[in-house]
Structure 1
């Protein structure tokens, strides 16, 4: 499969690229600074682009002819709030212009539905996290709304707290919901889940919670 990866220098993005290459996919890694991108391998193309509103035309070659686009774009800190929607918007525009339909994007677990019988400690923790990171989650809600309005076959992947743990391939996945008491997941396993959903029609147009 031919895929494009946005946010390829980030923790999830680099894992997507590495695992996709290992699986035999052809990968276009879209980066702003090639010097920060350390992944190499057969089947890899590095595409340099500055992302932001108005940059859709420059992104069209990166998504043209691709079977799918995977994105790890988003804010890393509270001061970056607003980046997820702003960076994703031109990707959507470029995909629609080129007729590239499949898109998987990272969001966050607190934007998904609260699981039934969620323990009180997890409900309290969620309320605190929502209050502390409200600006980041407001940005992600805007991004999610724009995906829902787009012409793409989108999937929103919603992990909880991310870690730098190793790839396990063992985690819980809930289409249209969130795993109960799902508190952490490694970036490597988020990447694994995204690649596994590439050709899963049950995840199209849905949010998918992933967690240990």
Structure 2
């Protein structure tokens, strides 16, 4: 496939780029600072995108691609950029005729998984939700933008992300979060997203992914 990757210089984004190239895909990586992408390959093109809300520039990146993957993230300090970026990506994809989109969100944006422990429901989840309120508000708005776009989207909701090697030991739940899922290697998140590219079951569905317990 011909893929476009946004957030390609982040931890998850770089994993997506590396694994996609290893799987034989052609990749264009949208980046603000090209020097931060520590990947080179004959099938990799690097596309400088100083402003990811610039619809015209984003369309140039996604034009002719089979699918788009976004690993754009934020912090409390920079919260408020992910939803506008998603809006620009969705508009650019629609006008370019590109339909498949996989985008990273987070566990707290989705409903509580069935079977969660009392300690998680009463203590941990409320603490995390309050501490990163601005981030999850931004991601929730991003999800609203994407689900209303008419694209063939998949929203992927991982828990806390770790910089660990790929080990293929993760669980996924279509339409819900993974019960008891507390962490996930960025490499496994990238693997899960690439595996969903042509998985019809995940189209227009949220998918929870977490390390296997």
Is TM > 0.5 for Structure 1 vs Structure 2? yes
Q: Does 1:146 align with 2:153?
A: no
Q: Is the 8 A contact 1:21 1:42 kept in 2?
A: no
Q: Does 1:17 align with 2:17?
A: yes
Q: Does 1:4 align with 2:4?
A: yes
One of 59, 62, 84 as aligned partner of 1:86? 84
2:114 maps to 116
Q: Which residues in structure 2 correspond to 1:1-212 (within 5 Å)?
A: 1-53=1-53, 55-75=54-74, 77-123=75-121, 124-212=123-211
Alpha-carbon distance in 2 for matches of 1:52, 1:115: 32
Aligned residues: 210
Q: 3-state DSSP class of the match of 1:78?
A: coil
Q: Taking structure 2 as the reference length, what is the TM-score of the superposition? A: 0.96
Q: Taking structure 1 as the reference length, what is the TM-score of the superposition? A: 0.96
Q: 3-state DSSP class of the match of 2:165?
A: coil
Alpha-carbon distance in 1 for matches of 2:73, 2:39: 20
Alpha-carbon distance in 2 for matches of 1:136, 1:61: 28
Instruction: List runs of 5+ in structure 2 lacking aligned partners.
Output: none
Give the superposition deviation at 1:114: 1.2
- Runs (4 or more) in structure 1 with deviation over 3 Å come to none
Deviates more, 1:100-109 or 1:29-38: 29-38
Give the superposition deviation at 1:51: 2.4
Alpha-carbon distance in 2 for matches of 1:26, 1:52: 21
Instruction: List runs of 5+ in structure 1 lacking aligned partners.
Output: none
Q: Deviations over 1:60-115 (max 9, x none)?
A: 1211111100000120x210111111222211111011010000000001112212
Q: Deviations over 1:131-150 (max 9, x none)?
A: 11111111111100000110
Give the superposition deviation at 1:52: 4.1
Q: CA RMSD in A?
A: 0.9
Q: Is the 8 A contact 2:52 2:58 kept in 1?
A: no
Alpha-carbon distance in 1 for matches of 2:89, 2:113: 31
Q: 3-state DSSP class of the match of 1:210?
A: strand
